[in-house]
Structure 1
Amino acid sequence: MSSELHLKLDYVNAYRENRLMGAQYILENQHLFDELVQICFSPLDKNNHKACWILEFISYEELIWLQPYLNFFCSNLKVLKDESSIRPIAKVVQLLVKSHYKKNENSILLSGENLQDCIEASFDWLINDVKVATKAYSIRTLYILGNHYDWIHPELQIILNKDYADHSAAYKAVAKEVLRKIERP
């Protein structure tokens, strides 16, 4: 028997308004958030990618809801294989890392292990065959992390310079922006 959330996810499609409505439903029914996070990291679930789309939109509004799930979230980044799931999760990783280093009362607190998982996933997405949006989020996430881990910027520079010529204009724009920031601290 399908859960309330699964029934809702069955009707979510890729249209932005539709994804926003799905996110709004979860924002109004926070008790479904736990199940949403579980579905995000259940690659065999037919609604896995839809749950990831909705989690991204919820993260813009209530990123703090992820705080109790960070160990689960970060340690399971590597289970995602479908591009439709990886792209929104890469954006959520970027939001989490940005929040962690903002250090205000609403900041996300990532453990050292959480940060290592985010670094590993971001480098994997950057060097593997995924779409440019995922790579762009990964580049920006790694740039932020590189401000706190000495070894990341040099590694990121090597990858961006090596791969620059083989990618789209969108990738090149992000790579150029980040390389400029790294070279001029």
Structure 2
Amino acid sequence: MSIIFLTQELEKMGNPKRENRERVANIVLENKKLIRYLVAITFDVDNKTSIKAAWILEWICTHHQLDYILPHLDEFTRNIENLKFDSAIRPCAKICEHLANAYFSKKENKVKEKLSITHINSIVETGFDWLITPQKIAVRAYTMNTLYLFGLKKSWIHPELKHLIETKIIHQSKGCKARGKYILDLIEKHQKTTL
């Protein structure tokens, strides 16, 4: 199976209904060599099929196993900053949040071994870009969680994130305001435990 086959399956997919995403995800999981093509199509950022590829990549990472993205972390983290379509940014922001959650999980997992400082730096840098540019609520929510978690490792992140939430995000939609307040509370609790 080739990238052409996968592209055709993505184009046939239509809308992001659960059954459509599950069908294409199952095709990819039945032939795991297609995962590298899925990542490549996700970052073909001028092609609208990249949106559907991002949906499937996120579906696999969320509903099957996050480990499938691990061999492709270099490509994923190097290219997330180049995403253009809102509908591709949202699933990639969710994958970033999954990676952060796994990295800080109390359970042992492969993400802790494979996610390098270079990968984390790319996710953090892109996350701040997503927070200062016009993005959908979901992207902001996933990104605030991701940055909060990586701020547990990098002390400069929390003050920057707090400033952005207080000066920009808290004045946006109700959803952004609620998530922003939640993250501010987490930052405050963390600061108290580290004093």
Q: Which runs of 5+ in 1 are unaligned?
A: none
| 2:170 paired with 1:160 | no
1:42 maps onto 2:44 in alignment:
yes
Shift in Å, 1:119: 0.3
TM superposition shift of 1:101: 2.5
Instruction: Give CA deviations for 1:22-67 in whole Å, capped at 9, x if unaligned.
Output: 2222122212111001001111223100000000010021211111
Residues 171 and 177, structure 2, Cα contact 8 Å, conserved in 1: no
CA distance 1:36–1:158, change in 2 (3 Å) = same
Q: Secondary structure at the match of 1:3?
A: helix
Q: In structure 2, what is the equivalent of residue 66 of structure 1?
A: 69
Measure the CA separation in 2 of the matches of 1:164 and 1:66: 30
Letter in 1 for 2:131: L
1:131 aligns with 2:133: no
Question: Match of 2:79?
Answer: 76
Contact 2:127/2:143, CA 8 A, preserved across alignment: yes
Partner SS state of residue 24, structure 1: helix
Q: Does 1:178 align with 2:179?
A: no
**What CA distance in whole angstroms lies between the structure 1 residues aligned with 2:170 and 2:8?**
45
1:165, distance to aligned residue in structure 2 (A): 4.4
By how many angstroms is 1:2 displaced? Answer: 7.3
| Post-superposition CA distance 1:73-125 (Å, at most 9, x none) | 10111110110110000000111122122264433121111110000011111
* Contact 2:170-2:181 at 8 Å conserved across structures: no
Q: TM-score, normalised by structure 1?
A: 0.94
The residue type paired with residue 156 of structure 2 is W
Q: Aligned pairs, how many?
A: 185
- Per the alignment, do residues 58 and 158 of structure 1 end up closer, same or farther by CA in structure 2, a change over 3 Å counting? same
How big is the shift at 1:127?
Answer: 1.0
Q: 2:104 aligns with which of 90, 101, 125?
A: 101
Q: Secondary structure at the match of 1:88?
A: helix
> How many angstroms apart in 2 are the aligned matches of 1:155 and 1:88?
24
Q: Matched residues in 2 for 1:77 and 1:71: separation?
A: 10
Runs of 5+ unmatched residues, structure 2: 191-195
Assess, with a 3 A threshold, how the Cα gap between structure 1 residues 127 and 3 changes in structure 2: closer, same or farther: same
SS for the counterpart of 2:46 is coil
SS of 2:186's equivalent? helix
Q: Aligned partner of 1:76: which letter?
A: N
Correspondence for 1:116 among 117, 121, 146: 121
Q: Are positions 1:92 and 2:87 aligned together?
A: no
